[in-house]
Structure 1
Amino acid sequence: MIEVEVHQQLRAFLREQGEPYWPHHLTMGRLVARALRLGRSALIQAGAPSGSHGRYRLSYLVPLLIWPGSAVLAVPEEVQQRLLMVEIPRLRQWIQTHKPILTGDRWPGLEFQGLLLTTPEEWLSDRLTDQSRFPQGIPTIVDGVDDLEAWAQSQLTARLEPSHWNDLMLARPEQAEAIRDVRVQLTRAIFQHPANPYECYLVESEEQEILHDLFRQLNAGQASVQETEASGEPSSLVTELNPPLPSPTLPDAWSYFWQRLQSPDQLVWATISRQHGQFSLHCGPVDVAPVLEKIWPQQPVVLIGGALDLEAEATIYRQRLGLKDLTCLKFAPDRQSELVQLYLPDGLPMPNTPQFQTALLQEVRALLNISLTAPGLTVLLVGDVPLKAQIGSVLAGEFGSRVQVEKTCLDDNGILVTGWEFWRQYQHVLPAPHLLAIATLPIPSLEHPLVAGRVAYYKRLRQDWFRLYLLPTALSELQRAIAPVRECQGVVALLDNRVLHRSYGHQVLAALSPLARINYLDPGLFNQSDYSVLD
């Protein structure tokens, strides 16, 4: 069986390399081989970061190269480059396989019997829009599915940029004035919303009705034109379709936006540029599960991510992605080589109190004064946008140019003040920090309009929006953020007292484990290698 061959080849290769490797290679390699042989889907939580240097990738490359049939491997472009330049050539020399390997956004042809590398976005786009660029039934491995929900949301979101209004007026010149009036109405309505740090606003029902009126006018105008062409005489009859359908002469962006706007359970929001007085409209599904659940039966899939769910069965993750019958496996981080030291002081004010900012700055100063005695990068994660700017400004005044706010050019002992999104994007290209200080848990803020819209959706369904949405999102973000610290067994300072005084605190600690709890500040802790592991 292929499982036996994969086990033997992978074990021999690892022994020959003589390097410390990820301890779960053989188990994961056998599972991937079994999935290829039986055509059974699987979900694997590798427990390791899924960046461009993900240590677990040998586990699926070996069975893919040994597997005699065709397969698709969907990985981000930066990962593709490493696989093609480093990992695959090294393995092909060992396994001595001549299996053809190509990259592209579509299947090369029916005669191709090899491995195709593509991106998750291209593969998802094909499956969600029925373009048939990838044949059904071909085993597919998707790596980095920590971002799968975000990829699907992006693919299913229609966007109207400022330039699209000009496209619409060019396509429908007879109604250019009405189109221009609607844009003015929407601009006035959207810019009346109170300013927020996200420059993002839900489009209220009254504002959506302005869009509906526009589409009704466009369809009525098209119907009138068609009648005139058919009779050869002007007609005063205006046919209003209910519900209206997108006109054949609408530009693609408008047709797709109208299609999404007519679908149930859609969020409609606007992002604005106050400086230019412009806005963009977005419309996408609140819940991607009903759409995604239709694509999984089309082929066997192996979905691989770092930390997707606290449970091995990934119940909540699977519910949000529409995943039903598949094999689930979860690997825990190695308790010796990936342990983090967790500094979790008690007595700090809660984040929603006026005293929190002052206490946070005092704690951060103490941490920096101690950590800067040892070489290495220090990262301060602050999710609140105004607070991030304020702390960056205060620390720059005290510690000078070593402090940078969301920059990648840093000194050897630099201090990076950053939000969660920036850190997620660039943590793989920055040095692993010896200290990662987290101001507050990354629980999505209800002040963000899109978060509030999604929570309202869960409330309408009478579902537990905190357990199903806010908490899983926070835990996943937290696990990904500390992954580089595990590599150097550094210090994580968590300055959010909710971990100690809220019922979900034990789940936060479970997401951070394996860890060694420390309750003191000492320069030696940044060079410490002898500490006890806490469960």
Structure 2
Amino acid sequence: MIEVEAHNLLQSFLRSRRVSVETSPGKASWPHYLTMARLVARALRLGRSALIQTGVAPVSHHHSYRFSYLIPVLIWSEPALIVAPQWLLTELQQEEIPQLFDSQALDSHLDKSIIRGEVWPAESNFDGVLLTTPEEWLSDRLGGEGRFPANIPTIIDGVDDLEAWTRQQLTACIQPQDWTQLLQQLPQHTDIIRSAKILLTQAIFQRPANPYHCHLLDQHEQGILEQFYHDLFEVEASAIAGVNDSLTPEYRERWSQFWHQWQAEEQLRWVKVNRHQGTFSLYCSPANVSSSLSEIWPHQPVVLIGGALDLEKTAPTYRQLVGLEEITCVKFSPDRNSQLIQLYLPSGLPLPNTPKFQGALIEEIRGLLSIGASIEGLTVLLIEDTPLRTQIGAVFAGELGSRVQVETTKVDGRGILVAGWEFWRQHQGILPPPHLLAIATLPLPSLEHPLVAGRVGYYKQNHLDWFRLYLLPTALNELQRAVAPVRDSQGIVALFDSRVLHRSYGEQVLAALSPMARIDYLDTTWLSR
């Protein structure tokens, strides 16, 4: 069976690379290569979908679980599809796949063609592997474009971001330049277009500014848009024909797509505002993507691979989020020997939403930095609140000079990086693994953000537990991804959010950080190791 062949070939390859299931000198070992390879091979042979949590972030510096699905796919007798982000496809083509084909241990076993593209090859007998991006694959599946045939076994890597990918594909947008093009292409309707644009501008810019530069459209603003669309496109059949004939296909499709999305149920209708330029962009995006995704899973067997998707093995919350029925689920935990972190979780700190928190946070960070002042290695301070991040950056830059940098990748070996969660997520793959990661507060989405409030409103309207199904899973996923590089260096995580100690969900936060050794006082031996 393919499971046996994949197991034997991967084992030979790992031994030849001196990355076996036993500990290898000079490099951390991931103990689940062979198990995962058999699971993927079984999914290919039976045509059954599977969900695998590797416990390893795709950007991990020391582990490439991707060998575990590449070998089964490359020895599979039929065609296959690999879906992964652009950067990951590049790594596959430039690093992992060449290593496999250059290996003497796999000589003569791998002869499958591998191509990268946005459409399935035209030749009818293609039995190779096609690499494509989530944007292309989801665009095809959600839009029924027919660029990829059904029933092709599909490996999707990095599904931690599947919900975000899908929401992006299902979001329709009208940019400022689209109004300009509409005026140029429909001069006979200038009055209708300008009137709607002026009314919208007045209504939107009367709203108070917020740090997120966006807000949900209220009923008045939605009414202006609906009246505009009615006056321009729906007044009478002759007007519809005239408008459609005058618009170029690109802009006809753009406005049609936007209005189609607008009329769908359970939509977030919102606007992003650029007050400096006096412009705005309109958006429609689904509050929930599970219903859309549930329609595409029956069309092909899929193996979905993510790092940390759910605390439970069967991933019930994640599967509900992405519309997955009961499927084979496997969860690998980080290896305690090679990926254990030291967790400093002090007790007695003020809660984050109290006035005393900022001063206590600065003192705690100062104590950590002073103890580890002579230690080589990157220190990262994760602070989401923008004013607080700026202030802490200024405080410690005044004390420690140019070692302290705010949201930049240009940091030296003993640098201190002050960053928000999004910056760290986007750049942690190109920065060295930190020996110390200090976290000010849990990455719970803020209810002050209009889009977060909109999604919470959706859960409330449907009588769903918005904290358990949305806020907490989002925070735990973000937390585990942020901590993953620290596991590579077996470093220290300092968490200053005392809600972990006083809220019922604290145990889930600690479970997400496992394996770890926890302490509530500053142990100088940790930082001097």
Q: Same fold (TM over 0.5)?
A: yes
2:471 aligns with: 470
Question: Does the 8 A contact of 1:52 with 1:79 survive in 2?
Answer: no
Question: Does the 8 A contact of 1:373 with 1:523 survive in 2?
Answer: no
1:226–1:91 distance in 2 versus 1, CA, 3 Å? closer
Q: Determine the C-alpha separation between the residues in 2 that align with 1:223 and 1:48.
A: 57
Q: Determine the C-alpha separation between the residues in 2 that align with 1:409 and 1:279.
A: 33
Is 1:79 aligned to residue 88 of structure 2? yes
1:176–1:333 distance in 2 versus 1, CA, 3 Å? same
Counterpart of 1:255 in 2: which secondary structure?
helix
1:361–1:30 distance in 2 versus 1, CA, 3 Å? same
Give the aligned residue type for 2:252.
P
Q: Deviation digits for residues 134-158 of structure 1, max 9, x if unmatched? A: 0000000000000000000000000
Q: Determine the C-alpha separation between the residues in 2 that align with 1:348 and 1:193.
A: 37
1:304 aligns with: 305
Counterpart of 2:339 in 1: which secondary structure?
coil
Q: Deviation digits for residues 95-116 of structure 1, max 9, x if unmatched? A: 2221111000110122211000
Q: Determine the C-alpha separation between the residues in 1 that align with 2:148 and 2:424.
A: 34
**How far has the Cα of 1:77 moved from its partner?**
1.8
2:509 aligns with: 508
1:2 aligns with: 2
1:161 aligns with: 175
Gaps of 5+ in 2: none
Is 1:126 aligned to residue 126 of structure 2? no
| Within-5 A mapping of 1:376-415 | 376-415=377-416
Q: Determine the C-alpha separation between the residues in 1 that align with 2:242 and 2:7.
A: 73
1:192 aligns with: 206
1:329 aligns with: 330
| Within-5 A mapping of 1:473-484 | 473-484=474-485
Q: Determine the C-alpha separation between the residues in 2 that align with 1:527 and 1:151.
A: 42
Shifted more, 217-226 versus 99-108: the winner is 217-226
1:233 aligns with: none
| Within-5 A mapping of 1:262-341 | 262-341=263-342
1:167–1:52 distance in 2 versus 1, CA, 3 Å? farther
**How far has the Cα of 1:261 moved from its partner?**
0.4
What TM-score comes out, normalization by structure 2 length? 0.94
Gaps of 5+ in 1: 230-245, 529-535
- Total equivalences in the alignment: 512
1:228–1:113 distance in 2 versus 1, CA, 3 Å? closer
From 64, 83, 96, the equivalent of 2:73 is 64
1:362 aligns with: 363
Q: Determine the C-alpha separation between the residues in 2 that align with 1:176 and 1:390.
A: 49
1:521 aligns with: 522
From 175, 185, 192, the equivalent of 1:171 is 185
2:161 aligns with: 147
From 100, 109, 112, the equivalent of 2:113 is 100
What TM-score comes out, normalization by structure 1 length? 0.93
Shifted more, 216-225 versus 493-502: the winner is 216-225
Question: Does the 8 A contact of 1:171 with 1:251 survive in 2?
Answer: no
2:231 aligns with: 217
Question: Does the 8 A contact of 1:71 with 1:114 survive in 2?
Answer: yes
From 15, 23, 42, the equivalent of 1:34 is 42
1:418–1:85 distance in 2 versus 1, CA, 3 Å? same
Q: Deviation digits for residues 240-264 of structure 1, max 9, x if unmatched? A: xxxxxx9999632211110100000
1:453 aligns with: 454
Shifted more, 384-393 versus 478-487: the winner is 384-393
Q: Determine the C-alpha separation between the residues in 2 that align with 1:396 and 1:282.
A: 39
**How far has the Cα of 1:309 moved from its partner?**
0.3
1:485 aligns with: 486
Question: Does the 8 A contact of 2:377 with 2:435 survive in 1?
Answer: yes
1:206–1:324 distance in 2 versus 1, CA, 3 Å? same
Question: Does the 8 A contact of 2:372 with 2:528 survive in 1?
Answer: no
Q: Deviation digits for residues 81-100 of structure 1, max 9, x if unmatched? A: 22112211221243222111
Give the aligned residue type for 1:84.
Q
**How far has the Cα of 1:18 moved from its partner?**
1.4
Give the aligned residue type for 1:32.
V
Q: Deviation digits for residues 274-315 of structure 1, max 9, x if unmatched? A: 111111111110000000000000100000000000000000
**How far has the Cα of 1:269 moved from its partner?**
1.0
1:227–1:253 distance in 2 versus 1, CA, 3 Å? closer
Q: Deviation digits for residues 216-244 of structure 1, max 9, x if unmatched? A: 01124563446999xxxxxxxxxxxxxxx
Q: Determine the C-alpha separation between the residues in 2 that align with 1:75 and 1:291.
A: 20
Question: Does the 8 A contact of 2:232 with 2:239 survive in 1?
Answer: no
**How far has the Cα of 1:362 moved from its partner?**
1.2
Q: Determine the C-alpha separation between the residues in 1 that align with 2:208 and 2:329.
A: 46
From 115, 126, 133, the equivalent of 1:112 is 126
Question: Does the 8 A contact of 2:404 with 2:417 survive in 1?
Answer: yes
Shifted more, 461-470 versus 387-396: the winner is 387-396
Q: Determine the C-alpha separation between the residues in 2 that align with 1:518 and 1:249.
A: 59
The two structures, once aligned, show a CA RMSD in angstroms of 1.8
**How far has the Cα of 1:368 moved from its partner?**
1.4
Question: Does the 8 A contact of 2:60 with 2:488 survive in 1?
Answer: no
Q: Deviation digits for residues 439-495 of structure 1, max 9, x if unmatched? A: 000000000000000001101111110000000000000000000000001010000
**How far has the Cα of 1:67 moved from its partner?**
0.5
Shifted more, 214-223 versus 464-473: the winner is 214-223
Percent of aligned pairs with the same amino acid: 59
**How far has the Cα of 1:358 moved from its partner?**
1.3
**How far has the Cα of 1:171 moved from its partner?**
2.8
Is 1:201 aligned to residue 202 of structure 2? no
Is 1:352 aligned to residue 366 of structure 2? no
Superposed structure 1 runs of 4+ greater than 6 Å apart? 226-229, 246-249
1:301–1:452 distance in 2 versus 1, CA, 3 Å? same
Question: Does the 8 A contact of 2:383 with 2:418 survive in 1?
Answer: yes
